[in-house]
Chains A and B, each alone.
Chain A
Amino acid sequence: MKIYTKIAFLTAALAVLFSMQSCLKDQEDVFDKTPAERMNEYLNDVNKILQAPENGWVMYLFPIYSGSPTAGFIYTAKFDGTSVTFRSERDGNGEDTATSYYRLNNDNGPCLSFDTFNSIYHYWATPAASGDLYKGRGGDVDLVFMEVSKDKIVCEGKRLRGRIEMYPLEQDPESYIKECIAYRSSNRDIFFGVRWNGSALNAEFVDDGNLGKVTSNPARYIEFSYAGEDGGTVTDTKAFVYLPDRIRFYKNVNYNDLSVRDFKVDFTEVGETSIVPVNGEDIRFTKPLTYLSLEDFAGDYTLTYEKSWEGDTDFKTIDLTLEVNETEDGLILKGLNEKWQVNLTYDQWSGVAYLRIQDLGLSTKNAKEQTAYPRFCFADASYFNFLEAEPYGEVANIRGAVSGTIYENCVYSFIWDYFNVDETVINLRNTYTWSSSSKTRAANSWYIHTYSSRTGTTDRFSLVPESGFGFGAVWNEDVVTETGVTILPYVYNLTKK
Chain B
Amino acid sequence: MKKFVNILLVLAAVVSLNTSCQKEDTPNENITIIVADQHEKTPFDYWLDQNFVYPYNINFQYRYEVTESSLSYYTVPADYEQSIKLAHIVKYTCIDAYDEVAGIEFTRKFFPKHFFLIGEWEYKNNGTFILGTAEGGKKILLAGVNYLNEHLAGGASSLNHYYLKTIHHEFTHILNQTKDFPVTFSQITPTLYIVDDWSSTSENCYENGFISRYARHSDREDFAEMLSIYVTNTQETWDGYIESAGGINSVAGTAIDNKLKVVREYMMDTFDIDLDKLRSTILRREKEVVDGQVDLTSVEIY
Q: Is B153 an interface residue (CB 8 A)?
A: no
- Total interface residues on B, CB under 8 Å, equals 54
Contact B83 A116 (CB under 8 A): yes
**B40 → A minimal CB distance (Å):** 5
A15 to B15 CA separation, bound complex (whole angstroms)? 7
Q: Is B195 an interface residue (CB 8 A)?
A: no
Interface string of A30-69 (1 = CB under 8 A from B): 0001101101100110110000000000000000000000
Within 8 A of B (CB), among A56-115: 81-82, 100-107, 113-115
Q: Which DSSP category, helix, strand, loop or mixed, fits chain B's interface?
A: loop
Contact A134 B74 (CB under 8 A): yes
Nearest B residue to A124, CB-CB: B76
Within 8 A of A (CB), among B55-80: 62-67, 71, 73-80
Contact B124 A23 (CB under 8 A): no
A43 to B34 CA separation, bound complex (whole angstroms)? 13
A9 / chain B contacts, CB cutoff of 8 Å: 5, 8
Nearest A residue to B6, CB-CB: A8
Interface string of B1-14 (1 = CB under 8 A from A): 11001101101110
Given A23-B21, A113-B64, A141-B64, A103 contacting B9 (CB threshold 8 A): no
A122 to B64 CA separation, bound complex (whole angstroms)? 12
Contact A127 B74 (CB under 8 A): yes
Contact A141 B76 (CB under 8 A): yes
Q: Is B191 an interface residue (CB 8 A)?
A: no
B73 / chain A contacts, CB cutoff of 8 Å: 127, 134
Contact A104 B37 (CB under 8 A): yes
Contact B38 A43 (CB under 8 A): yes
Contact A40 B16 (CB under 8 A): no
A116 to B15 CA separation, bound complex (whole angstroms)? 60
Nearest B residue to A133, CB-CB: B123
Interface string of A2-46 (1 = CB under 8 A from B): 001100110110111011011100000000011011011001101
Contact B76 A117 (CB under 8 A): yes
**A54 → B minimal CB distance (Å):** 21
Contact B39 A129 (CB under 8 A): no
Of all A-B residue pairs in the complex, the 10 with the closest CB atoms, nearest first, are A15-B12, A104-B38, A134-B123, A8-B5, A117-B79, A103-B39, A106-B35, A115-B64, A115-B63, A136-B74
A-B contact pairs, 23 of them (CB 8 A): A8-B5, A12-B9, A15-B16, A19-B18, A22-B21, A36-B32, A36-B34, A82-B39, A82-B40, A101-B42, A102-B39, A113-B65, A115-B63, A116-B79, A116-B80, A126-B76, A126-B120, A127-B75, A133-B123, A134-B73, A142-B66, A158-B66, A159-B71
